[in-house]
Amino acid sequence: MRLINSIAIVANTSFKQWFEDLILTTQVCIKDTGIGCDVVYTHDINSLFNSKYDAIVVYGPHNFTIPFRRHPQKIYVALDYEQTPLETHTCLEAEQKFQQLIKYYKQYNFLFTENESKNKYLKKHGIEAEIFDIGFHPIQTSLLLDKPCKKIYDVIMFGGMSYRRNELYTKLRSAGLKCYDPVKKIFNIQQRANLILKSKVCLNVHFYNMMYFEKPRIICQYFANKGFVISEALSDLEGLVDGQHLVITPYNKLVDTVRSFCDNERADERLCVGNEAFDFVRKHKRATDHTAHLLNIIRS
């Protein structure tokens, strides 16, 4: 069993906004165990070669294009939340993608990814990986959660503005719904949490229908703040129940569904579903459980 006194969680400076919620949640969970933990944003992992840290945990290893030297007395861990699932590619594309990633993976002592299908694919090529799941932690919850909060928006929608999201945003506004302007990006955890409290509907529109790509937004943002979620269909709800924890509807019916649930007469229904979702993630999707698994692997 290795003695780990201090850990650095590292992310590329250019991609800070994509990982901030996950990084801060992981940091708090590690600190809660008594291990020192700092967050470091850098363009070059080599800058940590002579640092005080016993372990270097890197979010998004594919975002670092500069090869790094491994310090013989440090443990290097990769948490790879690659935003394009391998299973969406053709065989040739997947192989090319894998060849791009493998040079990053091989630099680390341990590799964690976001889904089992990727790990099975990697194992066929001789690379072992563990799952590091997304989870709930109170740090993600607004400090205003238990106070009266006026709803000033009908709907919010987080995430990069793809063609489909832009199209939907235009239709929502044309339907007379008050939407938070998606161009005004909110990256601060508390700002985002407070915005959820001020919105009737949290709309989830995705690039891919795999649940593991939606967890950072659905669990760590919407559910963590009792948000009422309307979402496109997902490949696996992982214990969530349509109608109890969220509402699933086809893309072409999203506008009508949102408009229906924005009716003030459905406020109690929205509140009930939001509370059910909050209780579910507190009991079954705890970040502390996932971080404990990460630390056990690092110490092994």
* CATH at residue 156: 3.40.50.2000
**Pair 182, 157: CB distance under 8 Å:** yes
Task: Look up the pTM and report it.
Answer: 0.85
Tokens 């009716």 locate to: 263
86 shares a domain with 129 = yes
Residues 105 and 165 in one domain: no
pLDDT at 107: 87
Same domain, 150 and 173: yes
Note the helical H segments in the chain. Answer: 16-31, 91-105, 116-124, 163-174, 189-197, 211-217, 254-261, 267-284, 287-299
- Output helix, strand, coil percentages for the chain, rounded to the nearest 5: 45, 15, 35
Is the domain of 106 the same as that of 29? yes
pLDDT score recorded for residue 34 = 96
Question: Is 47 within 8 Å of 7 (Cβ atoms)?
Answer: no
Indicate whether 55 belongs to any domain.
Answer: yes
Q: Which domain holds residue 10?
A: 6-135+286-299
pLDDT at position 105: 83
Residue 28, pLDDT score: 93
For residue 30, tell me if it sits in a domain.
yes
Residue 10 placed within a domain? yes
Are 119 and 202 contained in the same domain? no
42 and 146 fall within a common domain: no
Regarding whether 146 and 129 lie in a shared domain, the answer is: no
Looking at the structure, tell me whether residues 239 and 293 fall in a common domain: no
Does residue 108 share a domain with residue 183?
no
Is residue 104 in some structural domain?
yes
The 3-state DSSP class for residue 54 equals: coil
pLDDT for 226-257, tens place per residue? 999 999 887 777 888 999 999 999 999 999 99
Question: Domain check: are 175 and 56 in the same one?
Answer: no
Could you give the number of structural domains in the chain?
2
202 part of a folded domain: yes
Q: What b/e sequence results for 60-99 when a residue is b if at least 16 CB atoms lie within 10 Å of its CB, and e otherwise?
A: bbbbbeeebeebeebbbbbbbbbeebbeeeeeeeeeebbe
> 232 and 160 in one domain?
yes
292 plus 271 within the same structural domain = no
In a domain, 1, yes or no: no
pLDDT in tens, 83-130: 555 555 556 666 676 677 777 788 899 999 877 777 887 788 788 888
Is the per-residue pLDDT at 275 higher than 90?
Answer: yes
